[in-house]
Amino acid sequence: MSYLLNIKSKLKDSSALAIQLLLLILGSYCFIMVEENRKWKALILLIGGISYFLSRNRKNHPIIWITLFALLLEDLIHDYFWLANHHFLLTFMVLSVIAFHYHKRGDYLFKNIQILLVIVVITSVFQKLMSRQFISGDFYYFMINQGALFRKFINFFPESVEIIKSNSANLTNFQATNPNEHQSLIIRDIFPKVNFYSQIFVWLTIIIESAVAIAILFKPKSVWSHLILAMMIIGILATRFETGFMALLAICGVFLCNNIYLKVVYTLISVSCFVLIVTRIGYH
């Protein structure tokens, strides 16, 4: 009974729980990315390690967080154009936690995470609206027929899997051809009316993301806001294992949510994504 009470008390402290989850995801992400620009990162880790052991009896500065933030910043400087969106979200979330260490204002941290989440989601909506390939449904049409979306469900249909393999082989062969020959590629549908369902999925995605952004902006603590956010995260994970990005969105949910049951859902999502990240499953 005391064990359950201890868990409940930890779930009540949203900031502490979210910061622990963020450190978990941050550590795994930095470990995976450490192979990029190793010389600079070795120097950063050396300086961070020395600083930590020289000041381990002091609590003036969050050395571990600053060191990991420096690793993120190093990637941002050298690989700006190919980094995924969640790298930027992670960088600003870590910066918010470092700032929180100094000002100790929970309301400031809450507002920072709220604004970050809204900006990320609304930016995603605008990117989709401005993309001709996305709005037309071509993006989803191509991804579905290549098996990049809903693959875990498609595996239950052997005929669709065979078509996906055929499409992938045709694409590989097409990429090897001379562009001056003006050859074309024919993609077979893995099930009837893929193009129609792709267009429905386009607008369903935009509507849900817009609803999340508006709900979090005006009602960041509302149970309904977090139900929509949790539904969106689970829906994206069911579509495609965007583990890194969804883990960060779930952690944002922990920061903002007051409902214990929803915090449990967000925590389970974050930990599950962490497991998938360290085992190199999905897109981290």
- With respect to residue 284, please indicate whether it lies within any of the assigned structural domains: no
Structural domain for 135, as ranges: 14-36+79-278
- With respect to residue 207, please indicate whether it lies within any of the assigned structural domains: yes
Half-sphere exposure of 128 (CA within 13 A, CB side): 21
249 pLDDT exceeds 80? yes
| The pLDDT value given to residue 8 | 59
Residue of 34, 90, 28, 39 whose CA lies nearest to 251 = 90
Assign 171 a pLDDT band (cuts: 50, 70, 90): confident
- The answer to whether the predicted template modeling score (pTM) of the entire model surpasses 0.95 is no
179 pLDDT exceeds 70? no
46 pLDDT exceeds 70? yes
Domain count of the chain? Answer: 1
Average pLDDT, the chain: 84
Q: What span, in angstroms and rounded, lies between the C-alpha atoms of 22 and 92?
A: 12
Residue of 20, 16, 242 whose CA lies nearest to 143 = 242
Q: What span, in angstroms and rounded, lies between the C-alpha atoms of 251 and 20?
A: 10
- Give the list of residues 6+ apart from residue 153 with CB closer than 8 angstroms, or none: 238
CB 52 within 8 A of CB 63: yes
- With respect to residue 41, please indicate whether it lies within any of the assigned structural domains: no
3 pLDDT exceeds 70? no
| The pLDDT value given to residue 216 | 95
- With respect to residue 71, please indicate whether it lies within any of the assigned structural domains: no
- With respect to residue 45, please indicate whether it lies within any of the assigned structural domains: no
- With respect to residue 220, please indicate whether it lies within any of the assigned structural domains: yes
